[in-house]
Chains A and B, each alone.
Chain A
Amino acid sequence: MNGVDIALVDWSRAQFALTAMYHWIFVPLTLGLSFIIAIMETIYVKTGDEEWKKITKFWMTLFGINFAIGVATGIILEFEFGTNWSNYSWFVGDIFGAPLAIEGIMAFFLESTFIAIMFFGWNKVSKKFHLVSSWLVAVGSNLSALWILVANGWMQNPVGMVFNPETARNEMLDFWALLFSPTAINKFLHVISSGYVLAAVFVVGVSSWFLLKKRKTVFARRSILVAAVFGLISSAYLILTGDESARQVYKVQPMKFAAMEGLYDGEQNAPLVAIGIMKKAPTPENPKADEFAFKIEIPNFLSYMAALDPNAFVPGINDMINGNEQWGIMSYYDKIEKGKVAINALRDFKDAKEKGDKTKADAALKDFKENYAFFGYGYYDDPHDLIPNVPITFYSFHIMVILGIHFMILFIVVLVFLYKNKLQKMRWLQYVALWTIPLVYLAQQAGWVVAELGRQPWVVQDLMPTLSAVSNINKSSVIITFWLFALTFTILLIAEIKIMLTQIVKESKNEGGH
């Protein structure tokens, strides 16, 4: 693509990443805490024990703080689509519009009705109606996330649409293919279960602080019981959905899959790098460079993880760059050629239509349709520009997985000591639980880094690279808004932490309220 300002692309990406990452600090706690609160309130309604009501109301207050600070931070992403990513917004057409519109309507009705009943409805509506409202808030906020993740799933694996070369827009052919795309469904399930784990760690961690301070121990132990059981079940589900998500990545984004494992040369019976330190990555000039300084491998496990077959071939980065005839992998060199044919055919089609030359337009359209699947590759000359940042993808993936295992072990250990009635004496475990709170946020961000940075350079897989998606606007305006957002979101985050800490300390001294 001629005349693209790479600095503009980078700043636009940085701005989007900053906004999305800050937004994702708030969202997962809402997703998970809403269910934990609903479970606690269910116990209250079932038992009539006022202590459970107090517990429910306390966590509801923290939910409210997080919700209030985080609400609408995602709207900025939509502003950015229209201003910084106008080519992309136009190109995706109604594919993105429909899910986002459903999400907007759902969020509005959810927030204006059931959350209000949750907070204002104590003693004004019946216990059961209040409980139903709490459950509806939980279900509704998770369904709200579904639509965003369906849209994201489509970007990772575009299905159910057809590109209209006359309007340059993708048009929806099959809404159900879009909604039930395995990529979208796995993404949704993996993301919401990660939110459940985050919320469970949050509740266990904060409650452990109560135990450390030797305040409200019954309150803390009950909160830990609900959160750790919920967290353990969610962790198991998180691993299952993560496993299935990885298989989807192997199928539709093999370059990302190879980057996640730092795999340059594909192989059968591929081992999984459980822990590794990356060294110098191979380059066209030095293809034999060893990519790892140190690694511990599990034999055959990567092949098994990818295809449920320990003998399966897992392509490496070099297999995709240079192609691999034996395994039927087309090289990026060939894909680039086909992509260039598609881009030129689109240009010829447009020119022929303007001149009223139907024969030429039909011929160009035929070429375009035959090569459209490789459209995005045509913007590149060097296939090596199509490799994502391997070390960042590799480390982010491994940080996410290792921390995911840590959370599961934490829930098990906490439950064992709770069952044995020894949790209050285990100060080391209380400290571990408390300091796991920042780690669970780190794991969340690492997961999104794998998903989004690992699929670079694509904004829509194989069809639109990031560099062709940006608007031709002044770079300085993007830089100004980047810093404005950095400042605004940092203030919001500090406000959230400060208000939450104040509330937690107050509650520990029996002074809570909402």
Chain B
Amino acid sequence: MNILKSVFRFYYEGFKSMTVGRKLWLIIFIKLFIMFAILKIFFFPDFLKTNFNTDDERSKYVIEQLTK
């Protein structure tokens, strides 16, 4: 428990004492939000996972695409 507490304090105090870092963390969070909550969900669905249910269906589709 003491180790967990020490690790928590290490990160807590580290973040607290940051100056430039705060601005950077804000940029990181905004960036990750745009990437995962907007781009990934609305613009980048996995094409084969979304359109087919099984690996067998995916294989058939890709072979069809490669040999058409």
| Chain A residues in the interface with B (C-beta under 8 A) | 1-3, 61, 64-65, 68-69, 71-72, 75-76, 79-80, 82-84, 86-87, 89-91, 116, 119-121, 124, 165-169, 343-344, 346-347, 350, 468, 471-473, 477, 480-481, 484, 488, 492, 495, 499, 503, 513-514
List 23 A–B pairs whose Cβ atoms lie within 8 Å, in order of A's numbering: A68-B24, A72-B32, A79-B44, A82-B45, A82-B49, A83-B43, A83-B45, A83-B46, A91-B66, A116-B10, A119-B18, A120-B14, A121-B10, A167-B59, A168-B66, A347-B63, A468-B65, A468-B66, A480-B43, A488-B31, A492-B27, A492-B31, A495-B27
- CB of A466, distance to nearest CB on chain B (Å): 13
* Cα A87 to Cα B64 with chains together (Å): 10
User: With a CB–CB cut-off of 8 A, which chain B residues contact A513?
Assistant: 19-20
Interface residues on B, range: 35 or more
User: With a CB–CB cut-off of 8 A, which chain A residues contact B31?
Assistant: 72, 488, 492
On whether the beta carbons of B10 and A124 are closer than 8 Å, the reply is yes
User: With a CB–CB cut-off of 8 A, which chain B residues contact A168?
Assistant: 59, 62-63, 66
**CB-defined interface of B3-16 with A at 8 Å, one 1/0 digit per residue?**
00000001101110
Supply 13 further A-B pairs (C-beta < 8 A) apart from A2-B68, A499-B24: A65-B24, A68-B28, A69-B27, A83-B43, A83-B47, A90-B58, A116-B14, A120-B14, A169-B59, A346-B63, A346-B66, A346-B67, A350-B63
Q: DSSP majority for the B interface?
A: helix
* Cα A121 to Cα B7 with chains together (Å): 11
| Chain B residues in the interface with A (C-beta under 8 A) | 10-11, 13-15, 17-21, 23-25, 27-28, 31-32, 34-35, 39-40, 43-49, 55, 58-60, 62-63, 65-68
Q: CB-nearest residue of chain A relative to B20?
A: A514
On whether the beta carbons of B18 and A514 are closer than 8 Å, the reply is yes
* Cα A196 to Cα B60 with chains together (Å): 46
Checking B19, B40, B46 against A86 with a beta-carbon cut-off of 8 angstroms, the contacting residue is B46
* Cα A347 to Cα B63 with chains together (Å): 8
User: With a CB–CB cut-off of 8 A, which chain A residues contact B45?
Assistant: 82-83
